[in-house]
Each structure stands twice: as structure tokens, then as C-alpha cells.
Amino acid sequence: MEATEIRKLAALEDRHWWYYERRVLLARALRKLGTPGAALDIGAAGGGNTRVLRAHGWQPVALEYGEEGASVARERGLSVIRADARHLPVPAARLDLVTAFDVLEHIDEDHEAAAEIRRVLRPGGTVLIAVPADMKLWSAHDEAVGHVRRYDRAGLLDLVEKAGLVVDELWSWNVLLRPVAAWRRRKSTGSDLDDLATPVNLGLRAVIAAERYLPVKSLPGVSLMMRAHRPA
């Protein structure tokens, strides 16, 4: 992701409906895990999710490939490593948790990144993954933010299982707003990361929050989310 996009994300993510709800989902997932321990947030950008990990008692490190994202995360007082997700500078079996939200789709050799996640997790350790779903939604937005692909369920399952991880849960996210996203992406000429008017932002937040309570996780969405673990 370009430096300008990183700075834009950092400025928006605390209030933008998409990032707000993703942090809520991350917090809910963390509450289901065991005692907090060592964590790595791969593709941390400005560290929004890393801060959620820290707030829930984990000892997180933000890993970011780009200089701008790493700088923003440091400005926020986070521990940061600049590195490639395909070559994690972490000893084997060292981490209790890895998060990889919206990062695998940027990597040509995503299988190498998945294998590295498995390597650095302790037996029984958890990985939380989020990726954009469905190549039917491919648009200028994907190109603007540096995506290589969007995933379907079978492709994401295959990637993770071939890396030696066991999938615990796989679900769709942003299902209710998929028709709106598809319509907007057809008209897009670049990134759709915008600072929305407050009423619009709050309305979208309410819609996406409703998904927590509705039986829509098996339907097509804009993103796929996964929880998996390294077998003991």
C-alpha cells in the first residue's frame, strides 16, 4: 500500500465504520482465546489492530513491510519490526497469536507467508486472518491498494491447510453491504477509502454491526475471516 494510503488509513481508522467494526470483531475473537501472550500483527500498517491486541493484555509487535506504516505505528508508541511476511524475523514456535488482516492478498507467494505463520506459532497457537473475498468484486480499488488477488473459501482453506494449520472457523463478513460495495466498485477509479459524512458513517456502522447477530456468515460477503491454529 502506498505511503499516502497508509497515512489516510491512520487518520480515518479510529472512526471509519469498516475499521471500527473490524476492531470490534478482533476484540470479540480475543476474548474467546486463552491467557494473553506473545503476539505478532503482520501487515500492521499504522497499528490499529496492534493497539487492540495491547488493550486486551497481549504483548504484541507490529510487523510492517513499508517504511510509512512502520513510522506511523512507532509514532503511536508500538513495538515495530520492518520485515517481509515471507521471512518473519521470529524464532520458530515462539508466538501464541498471529494476526494477518488484509495482508495475504498483497503477496504473490502467499503460501510462503502462510508457512511462516505456522512456523512461528507455538503448538496450539492461533492465527486470525482476514482477506478480501471473490474475484467478481475485483476493481480499480484492488489495484490502487496493491492487491494481487481476492479469495474464495476453497482457495483460502487450501492455502492455510497446506501450510499445516487446522481451520477452526471460516466465515464471510460485510455480507449485508455487498450489493452496495459491488455497485460502487464498478464505478471506482481508485481506492474507495474515504472520510464519510458522520450520518453516513454511523448508518453503515449500524448495518455492519447487525451482522454480529444475523445468520449471514455463510453467504457471500466482501471479506472472508478465519480462525485457525497450529496443531499440538
Residue 84 sits at φ, ψ, to 5 deg, of -90, 130
Strand ranges (DSSP E) for the chain? 38-42, 59-64, 80-82, 95-101, 121-132, 166-173, 223-229
Residue 151: predicted pLDDT: 98
C-alpha cell at position 40: 505478532
What are the residue ranges in the chain where pLDDT is below 50?
none
Q: Are 127 and 117 in contact (CB under 8 A)?
A: yes
Q: How many domains is the chain built from?
A: 1
Instruction: Tell me the pTM.
Output: 0.92
Burial degree of 133 (CB within 10 A; 0-12, 13-18, 19+): buried
* DSSP line for 165-198: -EEEEEEEES-TTHHHHHHHHHH-SS-------H
Residue 221: predicted pLDDT: 97
State the Cα torsion 72-69-22-186 to the nearest 10°.
130
Residue with C-alpha cell 501464541? 96
Residue 160 sits at φ, ψ, to 5 deg, of -70, -40
Q: For 79-107, b where at least 16 C-beta lie within 10 A, e where not — what string?
A: ebbbbebbebebeeeebbbbbbbbbbbbb
Owning domain of residue 64: 3-229
Eight-state DSSP code of residue 66: S
Residue 157: predicted pLDDT: 98
Q: Are 23 and 101 in contact (CB under 8 A)?
A: no
Q: What is the CATH number of the domain that holds 128?
A: 3.40.50.150
In Å, what is the CA distance from 161 to each residue of 34, 77, 183, 194?
23, 35, 33, 35
Q: Are 131 and 107 in contact (CB under 8 A)?
A: no
Decide: helix, strand or coil at residue 72: helix
Residue 53: predicted pLDDT: 98
